[in-house]
């Protein structure tokens, strides 16, 4: 079992990263080390998501560093300053639609940013004889989307061939290959995980589940791409992060693990479930919300179906999910209904103004 002391979490102000930091500091007594959160605070990063933890653990077990993973000098300095022994690399541009509209940032952050981190780690962890320490770890967070699109049956396993089809997934696939290349070529101790669609608190409200929850509450149109019959596999963010934590501790160096929810839903069916749930909790008329469903032009290259075979992490590392879909969706809806100021801060531009005053212009 690895003993992790100084964990550099990249993208810790984003959806999955901030939930990961919460999990470690609030729920994992086995973790006694320090987290350094490196985040550029792009439109998707929200440092307010961790304001309470910064108050509780700030300066001792939690430090925030505002910066870009592509900035080699800055990243090198962080490795030195904190004696980083572990990297958990979440930072990425993550929204497929944005990658279709403007792919360049995706290639910069997801490919060049990952390369910069890997090379900085290799340099920082190199020993006098040129070999790399074996008490360190670079864990890379990736996606099921690198495997492409499935037909009606089957599931992606760790040995499925890569077949990315959007600029987002192509960039993530490139970063996965770089991670493996750094392991095979330089002996960098790495692990890698590919996960299906996450849902839960703190997700930026452009992704399907939070967007639909908020639009239902606000009586806005509910845009469904194409025929609405695309299928995604949904996993609660905390279950995903427990999988990451399990890999950090006990995952075999050089191995990749798929993490999934074994929980496939057609988008349109999921939307009807959300309409019922949100309407019940918010005291709204579900039929009125159903009337706002709007079938819109399909996403170009829209992957039809994702499904993950996660038997390897279950069998080899003993990971299991704790949160069923009904419970997870209820928790998620409750969170968005209770945390309107988090959403309003983003939507009103108030949060952006605060970041610019405190951290300077955002990218
Ligand atoms: P997110 O978009 O919510 O957060 C990304 C974070 O990275 C933000 O805080 C942003 O400010 C930061 N960031 C972006 N560019 C940066 C840069 N150049 N330097 C430093 N920080 C930068 O994303 P998420 O949904 O939390 O996803 C996290 C990771 O998990 C990504 O690598 C993504 O590919 C992967 N993933 C996500 C899902 C999902 O369903 N959300 C599923 C599988 C894998
Ligand atoms: P999304 O949350 O963007 O995640 P991903 O593309 O990474 O799977 O989308 C989930 C599914 O929902 C995907 O099939 C696209 C679809 N979708 C809509 O139908 N309408 C929307 O407004 C959004 C954002 C997504």
Sketch out the chain's domains with CATH numbers: 6-200+235-262+302-323+349-359 (3.40.50.720)
Nearest bound ligand to CA 146? 1
pLDDT in tens, 24-82: 999 988 899 999 999 999 999 999 999 999 888 878 899 999 999 999 999 999 999 99
Indicate which atom in ligand 2 lies nearest the CA of residue 303.
14
What is the pLDDT at residue 1? 81
CA of 292 to the centre of ligand 1 (A): 30
Tell me which of 359 and 209 has the higher pLDDT. Answer: 209
> Pocket around ligand 2: residues whose beta carbon is below 6 Å from it?
96, 197, 207-208, 211, 223-225, 230, 232, 267, 299
pLDDT in tens, 346-363: 988 888 888 788 877 544
Residue of minimum CA distance from atom 11 in ligand 2: 208
The answer to whether residue 150 scores a pLDDT higher than 90 is: yes
Residues known to be catalytic: 144-145, 168
What is the pLDDT at residue 363? 44
The answer to whether residue 9 scores a pLDDT higher than 60 is: yes
142 contacts 257 by C-beta, under 8 angstroms: no
pLDDT in tens, 251-289: 999 999 999 999 999 999 999 999 999 999 999 999 999
First to last CA, the chain: 39
The answer to whether residue 221 scores a pLDDT higher than 60 is: yes
Rounded to whole angstroms, the Cα distance separating 334 from 250 reads: 34
Rounded to whole angstroms, the Cα distance separating 257 from 246 reads: 11
> In this prediction, what percent of the chain has a pLDDT beyond 90?
91
Map residue 259 onto helix, strand or coil: strand
Strands (E), the chain: 6-10, 34-39, 62-66, 86-89, 137-143, 190-195, 197-199, 222-225, 231-236, 256-259, 264-266, 293-296
Q: Mean pLDDT across the chain, nearest whole number?
A: 96
Q: Count CA atoms within 13 Å of residue 184 on its CB side.
A: 7
């Amino acid at each position: 079992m690895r003993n992790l002391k100084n964990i550099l979490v990249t993208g810790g102000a984003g959806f999955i990263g901030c939930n990961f930091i919460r999990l470690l500091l609030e729920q994992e007594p086995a973790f006694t080390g320090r987290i350094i959160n490196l985040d550029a605070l792009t439109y998707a990063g929200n440092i307010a998501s961790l304001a309470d933890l910064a108050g509780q653990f700030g300066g001792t077990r939690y430090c925030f560093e505002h910066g870009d993973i592509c900035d080699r000098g800055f990243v090198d300095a962080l490795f030195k300053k904190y004696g980083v022994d572990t990297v958990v690399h979440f930072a990425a541009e993550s929204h497929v639609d944005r990658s279709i509209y403007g792919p360049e940032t995706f290639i910069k952050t997801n490919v060049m940013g990952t390369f910069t981190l890997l090379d900085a780690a290799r340099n920082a962890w190199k020993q006098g004889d040129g070999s790399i320490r074996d008490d360190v770890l670079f864990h890379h967070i990736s996606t099921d989307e690198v495997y492409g699109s499935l037909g009606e049956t089957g599931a992606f396993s760790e040995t499925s061939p890569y077949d990315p089809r959007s600029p987002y997934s192509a960039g993530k696939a490139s970063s996965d290959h770089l991670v493996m290349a750094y392991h095979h070529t330089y002996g960098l101790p790495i692990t890698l995980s590919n996960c299906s669609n996450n849902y839960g608190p703190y997700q930026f409200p452009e992704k399907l589940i939070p967007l639909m929850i908020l639009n239902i509450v606000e009586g806005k149109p509910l845009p469904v791409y194409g025929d609405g019959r695309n299928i995604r596999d949904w996993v609660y963010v905390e279950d995903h992060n427990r999988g990451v934590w399990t890999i950090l501790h006990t995952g075999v160096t050089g191995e990749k693990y798929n993490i999934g929810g074994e929980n496939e839903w057609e988008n349109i069916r999921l939307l009807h479930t959300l309409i019922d749930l949100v309407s019940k909790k918010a005291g709204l008329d579900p039929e009125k919300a159903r009337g706002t469903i709007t079938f819109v032009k399909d996403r170009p290259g829209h992957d039809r179906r994702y499904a993950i075979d996660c038997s390897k992490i279950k069998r080899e590392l003993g990971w299991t999910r704790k949160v069923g879909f009904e419970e997870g969706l209820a928790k998620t809806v409750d969170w968005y209904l209770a945390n309107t100021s988090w959403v309003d801060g983003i939507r009103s531009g108030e949060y952006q103004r605060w970041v610019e005053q405190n951290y300077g212009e955002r990218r």
